[in-house]
Amino acid sequence: MKRIAMLLSMCLCFATYAIAQTTITGKVTSFEDGEPLPGVSVVIKGTTTGTVTDIDGAYSINAPEPENILVFSFVGMVTEEITVGNQSVIDVQLVPDITQLSEVVVVGYGTQKRKDITSSISTLENDVIENVPANYSFDGAIQGRTSGLNISTSSATPGAAINVNIRGVTSINASSQPLYVVDGIPIVTGNNSALNANIQPVNPLADINPNDIESISVLKDASAAAIYGSRGANGVIIITTKRGSAGKTKFNIGYNTSVSKIANTPDLMNSRQWIEFMNAAAEFDGLGSNYWNSTLGDPNDPNLPTYNAYDYIFRTALAHNFDVSAQGGDEKTKFFVSGNYFNQEGIQVGQEFERISGRLNIDHSATDKLGLGANLLVSRTNHQRTINENDEYGVVVNAQAWDPTAPIIEDDGSYANPFNYNGWWALENPLLIAEQYTNTSVTSRVLASTFATYEILDGLTFKSTWSADFNSLTDEAYIPSGTNNSNASTGSGTYGTFEELAWLSENTLTYDLNLDGGHSFNFLAGYTLQESRQDFSTVEGTGFPSNQIIKISTAANRTGTSGSTSFGFASYIGRVNYSFNDKYLANFTIRTDGSSRFGDNNQYGTFPSGSLGWRVSEENFFSPLKEVVSNLKLRASYGITGNAAIGDFTWRGAYSLTSSYAGQGGTSPDILENPDLSWEKTAQLDLGIDLGLLDDRISITADYFEKTTTDLLLQEDVPGTTGFRIIQSNFGEIQNKGFELGINAKVLKLGDFSWDASVNYTHLENEVVDVVNDGQILSRNFVMREGLAISQLNLIKFLGVDPFTGDAVFEDLNGDGIINLDDRQAVGSGLPTYYGGVSNTFRYKGLALEVFFQFSGGNKIFNQSRHAYQNYGSLQSGLPYGNQSIESLNYWRQPGDITDIPRPSLAGPNDPDAQWQRFSTQYLEDGDYVRLKNIKLSYNLPSSIISKAKLSSVQVFVQGRNLITWTDYLGFDPEVSTNTASTDDLNSLQGEDFGTLGQARTYSFGINIGL
Amino acid sequence: MKIKHILFSALLFSACDVLDQQPEDLIPTSEAIIDKQSATSAVNGIYHALQDGDYYGGRYILATEMVAGNGTASAFQAFWQELASGRVPVSNFHVEDSWIALYNVVNAANAVIEAVPNVGELDESEKNDMLGQAYFLRGLAFFDALRQYGEFYNTGSEFGIPLKLQPSLAPSETARATVANSYVQIESDLQEAIDRLGNGSPFFASQTAAKALKARVHLYQNEFGLAETLASEVIDELGALPPDYNEIYTTEESAEAIFELEFIQQDDPNVWSIEMYNNPPEVSVTDGLIDFLSNRNENERGMLFETLGNGLNRCIKYGTEAIEDGENTIVIRLSEMYLIRAEALGRSGVPNDALPDLNAVRNRAGLTSLTNIASDAELITTLLNERRAEFAYEGHYWFDMVRYGRMETIRGLESFRRIFPIPRREINISDGTLVQNPEYN
């Protein structure tokens, strides 16, 4: 999002003295809020004479000649040049630099002006990240904000990992998540919690306070990302945090609070409907009428209770966010310091996320040539999660299948045991799971870096950065004794630790060279080293004397493991940017990476890229069009990036040392050797156009891309007669192609009123071109097939309900007369094929209203939860399978009925005549949706009021998030369908929804005070 | 500039270091079996492979009970439902995982068989002991693979199993041998074991265990004389049946155990409790088996089967609680030798020749002696039922009904379903080297 466009407005006080003055004085203020701007550089053009404004924005400078030109420049503001003439007082208002062309964009290992960029890079400013209600990490906040970036929040669990793909899924077994770089440092983003079995993984990005972020750059094409070489194939997200500027120390205090509830719940039958439905099933089976009345109750009994488990597991959740920051300094030393406390309750009982973090960023100019700096983030997070997605003991699925005639809480206050009631589901009281099963992860994070820059010669700068990313995590989990989860009949506890230390050294030389005739070069060469070591341990215990004390030391039986792993990278980088007359642009990068993860034969990989740009609008022949087309740039880039995001020790043939038997140590074959293991390579072509219309009132960026990933890092199936299942290898090809469109428009500006709009849209096609085992079954419901997109659902085809018999009819694919899993076929992918967002911002004086829609679709979702709560009367072990969706009421009643819901029947899964539902397309649904994602109404109090209170700014705002969702999806929410348990699963198993916790609708109120 | 020079040199030097990362819980294959300690560990590792959940950790046995009609799928897993139906799809998870688990044992044994003769630190008797164990375990895995995936009931069939005899260092496929050649290899492995091994704890392979297994292998080929000889040798070594039928399920290393796979908490847990003692259990005992036992007044043997409040039946031979230290799996025990000898004598001579050994087993279980078996057909029925009662949930009933030719009548399945399909995954990636079993597609 761009800030509101404002017309340049200078307030020049024209003095009429005829006599030349030598001393000019004046005051520099901000056009936006009229505040004085300290630290603004005021220089006489073409000289070294200059000064800076003081705390009140005032300056004084000697300008002997009337033809002297004063240059006022300040970071983030448009530089102004004013000829002195005969003035003695020159007051200036600087306007924010919001035009795209002069915008400085953070790129890999440096910055570039937007106009010089020849690759595909999107930028996001802090206003879309700051103060987004109940958003624990920035990645959730930027969803839908820019093209090419597909983000899905897989669960409303606060602090949980979020799935991010830039321009598609490029891998099968290696990660397809982007590389995150914070202030130049690639950071650790893996889930280190050992509790990830069917519990939402923790999100290490939640360690970062979103309000510390100044801007985000998204490097999408090969030309932009190739400087990150072997880790650039999935794109790069560069985060730049706030830094201080010289002048009066500014304080900012912010607080916001929000209230969240589950946005939508699929409707279930009440007790009367359910019993009538079960009776209908019995009647169809020839068991007579009112078959279930004696067991389940009389449906016509007016006192028949209905217990809705949703009412117990969901709650109105509160979140608080408190920020305080200060920034300032002088010309030599600048600082930014902040503290944050964030606490978010989950909308489901048992979930909570808490963060305390602090940041200190310092820059110091030791001499004209030597600069020093340091960044420090310290944070601690506490994730309280519950078993949910993809687990039979998940809170949500047990609530949905809950026998509606059974209470949740017994009269004596205890948790009702579902086994004392009449549903085969639930397996456990969902409230008991939510409240009594413990799953807590606490992380401590220190992200520290120091850097020095030294200007060796004019234009030649050396920079050295040393950093450490330290992450320590403690897991504690407990399943109480006496619960139905019989893994824990005597109590089952887990305590785990994980410690990761990654250090990085980066050393670069940059050289700016401008030659006569309009040739300008920027060179970068560098060398980086990185090493990471991870140590972990887990102890588990069973047989606890008390559910109150869950420390493993009290357990009767204890087992434990510990382990470690490590990796290293050594890399060389180089880049040349070339510009000729500001019209013809070229960029070439190369990176050579060595990685410990690859075989001796292929330890190093080289990743080149190049891009060209032509600023057509700068050509002389174009000038007649400039009235209408203010900017036109054509771009083309091509390059190769790599992916190394696999396990650390997968290439060498090895025995596992953990194969003990009968109390004696043992070893057994574990890894099949592949000395040729190498990088996964992604070749990407990008053709782009940047267009500015009507003096850039409308700016359009469009890109076409083709990403071909080969030598996939693949757990290639090997013949089982070897004794192995897989070998880590390079084989296969995946292609992603599509186009992206971004439009920003200043639609209207009338006096104090303005209306800005922005739209982004991405269309994406994914195809598995070549794999070893075409048709490989990846889990029960997924397959990998050449010619189709990855995350391909593999289901039995439901042909409908026979209007004469009411039976569900399935396609017998192999014609063997039996419907079973051999009849599955590819039925669509869980990956969206289009997504984007639309934002409109209206401003009037201090008031601003932003309305933001986000959409996504083209994907399929297998709504497996319906298998539990929509199984048409079937019995399991003589019990009704579970409660039913109200959708089931539309069941087949008599010959001739046309419906998708078959005749209910009590026959169970082992009965050949059962209406028992299969893993079939019956539960396959479209994932398309449009969401009113965010509305924010903010008001900046006028300075006339706040100045009396000695405040520099006061903003109050209200926001609503996930307000309305338009979708045909029958589950909680179409966005919940992503399984985030592992990086592999994120690639190839997207699109399954089993007991996923739906999205939250959130309202928030906040205030920001500037001092 | 000098400082920078030094700095760069330091960085370049350390590049080699960051790329040289060594795993700390893995050992390179080439260094896996080089001295006495590592060789001992590699032998232990074969047993660990045998403990796999898809093998003697439980599912290999449970799968046979499911297809035999002794078990029913009472929870979620579709692969159990498929097995319980008897119509097992080529993509069944158990069919797929068990194949790999079996050959994992073969590969671990092959590595020991190849490497141990060259370990200088070992003396001859140590080498023989290690090699004997490896041969026994490989023979067992080949035999179990043959029973599950090959036409083991027909020695004239070409549908045997791949006989992989070298350690796997790179991906490669092995074609199927004939059934006859498969048996030749199994017998040869077991004979190697008999020749090299002594006797000790039933937790480890022994000469007695190798003889006992070889007796079973001969019986499956209707080689009654050889089966009888070996069974008799084992009976002579171990003596009479212990009086208490239940002792073997409650006591580790009981007198009856010939080869007992030991599970302790430190090992990977077996899956008995995961599959049978969870709530709801994936695998439950069918009413058919409960009725069968109660109709026979099987008080002793029936004690190990119980009906729960939810109407489901379960077998408690492997525990009762979800979390146990891990109950052991009995792979071979003494009463089988009596029943092998009974069958060998009865089927090679007259049916009543089977009576003494049959009755020894019956009497131990508190049943009266049989006095007359009227015909060959009745002998088969008697043997099938005695073995079903004696070994329920120990993985015999399915193979017995198949080799007796009774599967089709008892289970009502097509004949080709006497054996499992080769997994679709294996057929897919074998480029035609592996041939699917007849009528599976």
pLDDT digits (tens, 9 = 90+) for B275-298: 888 778 899 999 999 999 999 999
- Chain B, 135-194: which have a CB under 8 Å from a chain A CB? 162, 164, 167-174
Residue B6, pLDDT > 60, answer no
Nearest to A722 among B76, B107, B266 (CB): B107
Tell me which residue in A464, A489, A603 faces B19 most closely, judged by beta carbons. A603
Q: Number of Cβ pairs closer than 8 Å across A and B?
A: 277
Q: Which residues face A939 on adjacent strands?
A: A847, A956
Which of A837-851, A864-878, B348-362 is predicted with the least confidence, judged by mean pLDDT?
Answer: A864-878
Any A CB within 8 A of B28 CB: yes
Chain B interface includes A492 (CB < 8 A): yes
> A342 - beta bridge partners?
A321, A355
The pLDDT assigned to A65 comes to: 83
Is B49's CB within 8 Å of A668's CB?
A: yes
pLDDT digits 0-9 by tens, A129-148: 887 877 788 888 888 899 99
Band of residue A549 on the pLDDT scale cut at 50, 70, 90: confident
> Would you call B266 and A722 a contact, using CB atoms and an 8 Å cutoff?
no
Quickly tell me which residue has 């280190």 as its tokens: A192
Cα–Cα distances (Å) from A946 to A38, A302, A950, A952, B404, in that order, read 20, 62, 6, 7, 96
Span B3-14, average pLDDT: 53
Helices B207-220 and B124-149 pack at an angle, to 10 degrees, of 30
Distance, in Å, from the CA atom of A473 to the CA atom of A169, rounded to the nearest integer, reads 29
Question: B90–A822: do the CB atoms touch at under 8 Å?
Answer: yes
* CB pair distance less than 8 Å for A505 and B11: yes
A465, A375 in Cβ contact below 8 A? no
Question: Least CB-CB distance to B19: which of A596, A773, A816?
Answer: A596
- Please name the member of A557, A722, A877 whose beta carbon is closest to the beta carbon of B312: A877
Query: Which of A568, A724, A876 minimises the CB distance to B21?
Result: A568
> Measured between beta carbons, which residues in chain A are less than 8 angstroms from residue B81?
909-910
Which of A 660-679 lie inside 8 A of B, CB atoms?
Answer: 660-673
Mutate to test the interface with A, among B25, B50, B436 (most CBs of A within 10 A): B25
Interface membership of B352 toward A (CB under 8 Å):
no
Q: What is the DSSP letter of A657?
A: S
- Residue contact A919–B168, C-beta within 8 A: no
Supply the Cα-derived Rg of chain B in whole angstroms: 24
Q: What is the mean pLDDT of residues A464-475?
A: 94
- Cα(A440)–Cα(B105) distance, integer angstroms: 39
Task: Return the amino acid letter for A769.
Answer: V
Measured between CB atoms, does A422 come within 8 Å of chain B?
Answer: no
Q: How far is A336 from chain B (nearest CA, A)?
A: 30
DSSP state letter for A417 = P
pTM, two decimals, is 0.85
A727 at B interface, C-beta within 8 A:
yes
Copy the structure tokens of residue A115.
């106009």
* pLDDT surpasses 50 at B9: yes
Q: Over chain B, what HEC string results? A: CHHHHHHHHHHHHHHHHHHCCCCCCEEEHHHCCCCHHHHHHHHHHHHHHHCCCCCCCCHHHHHHHHHCCCEEECCCCHHHHHHHHCCCCCCCHHHHHHHHHHHHHHHHHHHHHHHHHHCCCCCHHHHHHHHHHHHHHHHHHHHHHHHHHCCCCCCCCCCCCECCCCCCCCCCCCCECCHHHHHHHHHHHHHHHHHHCCCCCCCCCCHHHHHHHHHHHHHHCCCHHHHHHHHHHHHHHHCCCCCCCCHHHHCCCCCCEEEEECCCCCCCCCCHHHHHCCCCCCEEECHHHHHHHHHCCCHHHHCCEEECCCCCEEECCCCCCCCCCCCCEEEEEHHHHHHHHHHHHHHHCCHHHHHHHHHHHHHHCCCCCCCCCCCHHHHHHHHHHHHHHHCCCCCCHHHHHHHCCCHHHHHCCCHHHHCCCCCHHHHHHCCCCCCCCCCCC
Contact A662 B44 (CB under 8 A): yes
Residue pLDDT, tens place only, A579-623: 998 899 999 999 999 988 887 788 888 999 999 999 999 899 998
Residue of A722, A778, A875 best to disrupt the B interface, most CBs of B under 10 A: A722
pLDDT computed for residue B1 by the predictor: 45
Counting every residue written for chain A, the total comes to: 1011
Please check whether residue A289 touches B, CB under 8 A: no
Contacts of B118 (CB under 8 A, 6+ apart): none
Would you say residue B15 has pLDDT above 60?
Answer: no
Which residues on B lie below 8 Å from A557 (Cβ)?
A: 265, 323, 325
* pLDDT over threshold 90, residue A197: no
Residue closest to B393 by CA, chosen among B242, B286, B297: B286
Say if CB A441 and CB A385 are below 8 A apart: yes
Chain B contact for A569, CB < 8 A?
yes
Closest partner residue to B18 (CB to CB) among A392, A490, A531 is A531
- Distance (Å, rounded) from C-alpha A785 to C-alpha A783? 6
Token representation of residue B87: 């119509």
**Per residue in A386-410, pLDDT tens?**
888 778 888 998 999 899 999 999 9
- Measured between beta carbons, the chain B residues lying within 8 angstroms of A603 are 19
Residue A746: enclosing H or E segment and its boundaries? strand A733-750
Token representation of residue A651: 């290439």
Q: Is the ipTM of this complex over 0.85?
A: yes
Structure-block tokens of residue A75:
């970071």
Asked whether the beta carbons of A186 and A530 are under 8 A apart, the reply is: yes
Contact B311 A878 (CB under 8 A): yes
Where does the pLDDT of residue B8 fall: very low under 50, low under 70, confident under 90, or very high at 90 and above?
low
The interface residues of chain A toward chain B in range 513-532, judged by CB-CB distance below 8 A, are 527, 529-531
Residue A749 to residues A470, A584, A845, A979, Cα–Cα distance (Å): 49, 34, 12, 45
Which residue in chain B is spatially nearest to A647 when comparing CA positions? B23
Model pLDDT for residues A712-755, shown as the tens digit of each residue: 888 888 999 999 999 988 889 999 999 999 999 999 988 889 99
Are residues A281 and A905 in contact, defined by beta-carbon separation less than 8 angstroms?
Answer: yes
Please, which residues have CB within 8 angstroms of residue A572's CB and are 6 or more apart in sequence? A525, A526, A527, A591, A592
Among A123, A327, A110, smallest CA distance to A212 is for A327
User: Quick check: A452 contacting B, CB < 8 Å?
Assistant: no
DSSP letters for A903-945: PP----TT-TT-----SBGGGEEE--EEEEEEEEEEEEPPHHH
pLDDT number for residue A472:
94
Residue of A655, A723, A780 lying closest to B78 (CB–CB): A780
Q: Which of B81, B108, B264 sits opposite A910 (nearest CB)?
A: B81
Min CA distance, B236 vs chain A (Å)?
28
- In the numeric block, which tokens belong to residue B397? 């009933």
What lies within 8 Å, CB to CB, of B196 at 6+ separation is B128, B129, B131, B132, B135
Q: Considering chain B, what percentage of its residues have pLDDT values greater than 90?
A: 77
B40 in contact with A, Cβ within 8 Å: yes
